[in-house]
Amino acid sequence: MIAIENLVKRFGKVVALDQVELNIHSGELFFLLGPSGCGKTTLLRHIAGFCRPDAGRILFDGEDITPVPPHQRNTAMVFQNYALWPHLTVARNVAFGLEERRVPSREIAASVLEALRAVHLEEVSQRRINELSGGQQQRVALARALVIRPKCLLLDEPLSNLDPRLRLEMRGEIRRICREQRLTAVYVTHDQQEALSIADRIAVLSAGRILQVGTPAEIYRKPRNRFVAEFIGEVNMLKARITGRTDFLELDVEGTQIRLPRPANSNDEKIGSHLAIGLRPEAIRIADQKSQGLAWIAKLTETVYLGATAQHRFEFGESILKVSEPNPQPAQYRIGNDYPLSVRPEDVILLPEPEQG
């Protein structure tokens, strides 16, 4: 288990980590997600021991390891560029960490074979690195990290140099390896799909702060603020004004009246105050007739047919709505016509802050 307590790091006037508090469970595949410059790699490097914080501390299983140097933390890091030795064979690359620890050669051979089997590379152990594909090189980097039997595996954008097909394949491999090895893994990425597809939990960072921590479904369906909502996938943002509060929350959305079950966090919202509403494109349905409750009429302005889905754009008041239709029928809807749209109440994202320009 990793506990990060009130961690602060400054580079001159730039605050890279701003009082970060975080708990990562034992055996968890935990993602640090955010845009470039948000502090996610800086936080990973602090866990590895490559950086010293200006304040705060880091604990492994309750033990303060903040002053402990990297080589004594029993962590292993997989870098974005793999950092492999091109003049050595696959086996020698994997063995490097054990050789530095002066492990007996017989133990090294057995451990290297076990690590290569874990990543399905035992048959290429005598090849040189430049004879391998990008995906194979990534597996070598993983094997080199696994061979020292770390308590914690740290991954810094490990799939960014691979093509889309290999990235998809390696996502599953990384998850499989972490499960089989029962590793606590901390994984840095800016790729939302990568995080959503394999993470146990995700922390979303911005400007050195953690904005939200949760499971992929929690982060996607219940974002706490507009930044998280817009960073994780596509979302339509609409302005809303509260017009009534009973057992329901009555809202004026772009001149259309809608009613929603009142959420727990709406107790402090007053009639006349503003909210932002988030609607995921796949949550919006093009209805055959106007539905009761959360429904409105919008004009179709563009359709892009993509086979498995169609991407539609609708005009609604002053807003543009993106709507994703699964398994579409070609030319089912005509540009310029008005159509009823509807969303289930549970798919509406209510954000506490008012819409920002």
For 34-51, the pLDDT digits (tens) are: 999 999 999 999 999 999
Structure confidence at residue 136 (pLDDT): 87
Structure confidence at residue 357 (pLDDT): 40
Could you give the percent of the chain with pLDDT greater than 70? 95
Give the mean model confidence (pLDDT) for residues 7-35: 95
From CA 332, how far away is CA 44, in angstroms rounded? 49
From CA 188, how far away is CA 197, in angstroms rounded? 14
* Phi, psi (deg, nearest 5) at residue 20: -75, 130
Could you give the percent of the chain with pLDDT greater than 90? 49
| 188 sits in which H/E element | strand 184-189
What kind of fold does domain 2-230 have according to CATH? Rossmann fold (3.40.50)
Structure confidence at residue 356 (pLDDT): 47
From CA 205, how far away is CA 295, in angstroms rounded? 34
Paired tokens of 329: 């029928």
Query: In which residue ranges of the chain is CATH 2.40.50.140 found?
Result: 234-351
What pLDDT band is residue 263 in, cutting at 50, 70 and 90? low
Q: Is the pLDDT of residue 264 over 80?
A: no
Structure confidence at residue 265 (pLDDT): 55
The 55-60 sheet, strands edge to edge: 14-24, 2-11, 55-60, 63-64
From CA 17, how far away is CA 342, in angstroms rounded? 42
Structure confidence at residue 355 (pLDDT): 44
Give the mean model confidence (pLDDT) for residues 52-72: 94
Q: Higher pLDDT residue, 262 or 17? A: 17
Give the mean model confidence (pLDDT) for residues 261-288: 79
* Range with the largest mean pLDDT of 44-53, 76-85, 237-246, 326-335: 44-53
- Given a contact cutoff of 8 angstroms between Cβ atoms, the answer to whether 328 and 286 are in contact is no
Instruction: Look over the chain and give the mean of its residue pLDDT values, rounded to a whole number.
Output: 88
Q: Higher pLDDT residue, 291 or 339? A: 339
CATH homologous superfamily of 234-351: Nucleic acid-binding proteins (2.40.50.140)
Give the mean model confidence (pLDDT) for residues 202-220: 96
Q: Is the pLDDT of residue 293 over 60?
A: no
pTM of the model: 0.86
What pLDDT band is residue 117 in, cutting at 50, 70 and 90? confident
Largest Cα–Cα distance in the chain? 76
Q: Is the pLDDT of residue 252 over 60?
A: yes
The 29-33 sheet, strands edge to edge: 75-78, 152-156, 184-189, 29-33, 201-206, 209-214
Query: In which residue ranges of the chain is CATH 3.40.50.300 found?
Result: 2-230
What pLDDT band is residue 268 in, cutting at 50, 70 and 90? low
Which residues are CB-neighbours of 56 under 8 A, at least 6 positions away?
4, 5, 6, 7, 8, 19, 20, 66
Structure confidence at residue 135 (pLDDT): 83
128 DSSP assignment: B
Q: Is the pLDDT of residue 25 over 50?
A: yes
Q: What are the helix (H) ranges across the chain? A: 40-48, 90-100, 105-118, 134-146, 164-181, 192-198, 216-221, 226-231
Q: What angle do CA 14, 194, 152 make, to 5 degrees?
A: 70
Give the mean model confidence (pLDDT) for residues 8-31: 95
Give the mean model confidence (pLDDT) for residues 206-235: 94
pLDDT tens per residue across span 90-113? 999 999 888 888 888 888 989 999
What pLDDT band is residue 130 in, cutting at 50, 70 and 90? confident
* Phi, psi (deg, nearest 5) at residue 80: -60, -40
**Amino acid at site 223:** P
Give the mean model confidence (pLDDT) for residues 199-216: 96
Q: Is the pLDDT of residue 315 over 60?
A: yes
Q: Is the pLDDT of residue 67 over 70?
A: yes
- Given a contact cutoff of 8 angstroms between Cβ atoms, the answer to whether 256 and 341 are in contact is no
Q: Is the pLDDT of residue 266 over 70?
A: no
